[in-house]
Amino acid sequence: MKSHRLTYLALAVLATCSLVLQSVHGAKLPVWQHDADTVYTDSMNIDSLTIWDFDIDSSSMVRKKGSVLVIGAGRTIRGCNPFGLNRQRLRDYAGVVNEYAETFPDVQVYFLGVPTAVEFYLPEESKVKAGSQRAAIDEVFNSLRPDVVRADSYDALLAHVDEPIYSRTDHHWQPLGAYYAAEQLAKAAGVPFRDLSAYKRKVVRNYVGTMAKYSGDPAFKRAPEDFVYYVPTEATYRTIYVAYTLDKSRKRVVSETEPYQDNFFRTYNDGSGAAYCTFMGGDTKLTRVETDVYNGRRVLILKDSFGNALSSFLFYSFEQVHVVDCRYFTQNLIDYVDEHCITDIVFANNIAHTSGETVAMYRKYLVQAAKEETEEDEKEVDEFEFFDSLMEAQEN
């Protein structure tokens, strides 16, 4: 165990150096993430996105407002985040997936390729300016070890592109899109999967998500949509959380709760802009769902916010579903996998969230001490500093 931690400590240091170089050689462009209370930002290297620096021909009904590509008008207006193909970044992401497969030889590791809305809804005449997410997912697939399972949601989503699988007014997919992706994951994992007849359909009407704020375009508020989600009706499950409190930067966990039980699905009123936080209330929690599927399969989902909706469709498939965000986790993941007898680890980031920051965090999870150990170390350091100050006072 110690040799694993030392090896990955070195890798984490290298990853940090890489991020420093990125900050020197490339500016940053925001890609928006949010929970019930706050809109977060993640960074993407602008070198892969400079194709969007010029104005797009208005005749194509695509225009760039803020960090958003606005497509169409009226009741069908849609906002999308731009995507640029950065092959080295994708290979780096595949590298950390491979490291997990090497670290956990007795656990099956998966990469679930998840495209974002811009791949399917950008008009054909504008696609020459965009990076191909099919090519991006394939770049990761081709860089993975043979023992990593490739679960591909791309073709399944493409087959249903005329259905509401992505939000028009938010950067997330709709839960229906997550359902089709979860079905592909279940097939790849060889576990049961139930169709939508085993769920109750619920609707939050007049939903307007993140695109209104970050495009600055008031047209989004005049074109709300339905947020439709699905609650399993034939599964018995309970959800246990550890909730995190973040610092003012919203990047560092400063405290956490003891484990507690609560609902997986939150309820939001019509018109709420936080409807995507229906699942677990957002990203700032460690989640464990215990189901009545006693098949010995316990899955750990490593994810950004796209994985929140994805997880909700796995309660018929796995005995336990553990959900870890790519930004917030305070334990040592090697210890966590061992303690909870995890059998499957799924990397479920959308393809635009395969940044260097994400890679660095996943490496950090393998080497970081548990929060209790860290606090004890800090206490010891404080005590040494106290005695050092006494010695200096005596010498003076």
Say if residue 385's pLDDT is above 50.
Answer: no
Distance between CA atoms of residues 14 and 9, nearest Å: 9
Q: Which carries the bigger pLDDT value, residue 224 or residue 385?
A: 224
Quick one: pLDDT band at residue 133, thresholds 50, 70, 90? very high
Q: Residue 55 to residues 65, 67, 131, 168: CA-CA distances in angstroms?
A: 10, 12, 17, 21
Q: What b/e string do you get for 307-327 counting C-beta neighbours within 10 Å, with b at 16 or more?
A: bbbbbbbbbbbbbbbbbbbbb
Structural domain boundaries in the chain: 2-395
pLDDT at 148 over 50: yes
User: For residues 305 and 387, which has the higher predicted lDDT (pLDDT)?
Assistant: 305
pTM, rounded to two decimals: 0.82
Residue 88 has pLDDT above 90, yes or no: yes
For the stretch 14-32, pLDDT in tens is 444 444 344 333 333 333 3
* Alpha-carbon span 252 to 46, nearest angstrom: 24
Q: What's the whole-number mean pLDDT along residues 1-10?
A: 49
- Work out the pLDDT band at 185, boundaries 50, 70, 90: very high
Least confident interval from 24-38, 186-200, 276-290: 24-38
pLDDT score recorded for residue 372: 56
How sure is the predictor about 54, in pLDDT bands with cuts at 50, 70 and 90? very low
In this structure, are strands 260-262 and 237-246 parallel, antiparallel, or unpaired?
antiparallel
Residue 57 has pLDDT above 60, yes or no: no
What confidence tens digit (pLDDT) does each residue in 195-253 have?
999 999 999 999 999 999 999 999 999 999 999 999 999 999 999 999 999 999 988 99
3-class state of residue 247 by DSSP: coil
Mean pLDDT on 118-136: 89
**Sign of the CA dihedral 316, 240, 337, 296?**
negative
Confidence of residue 55 (pLDDT cuts 50, 70, 90): very low
pLDDT at 367 over 80: yes
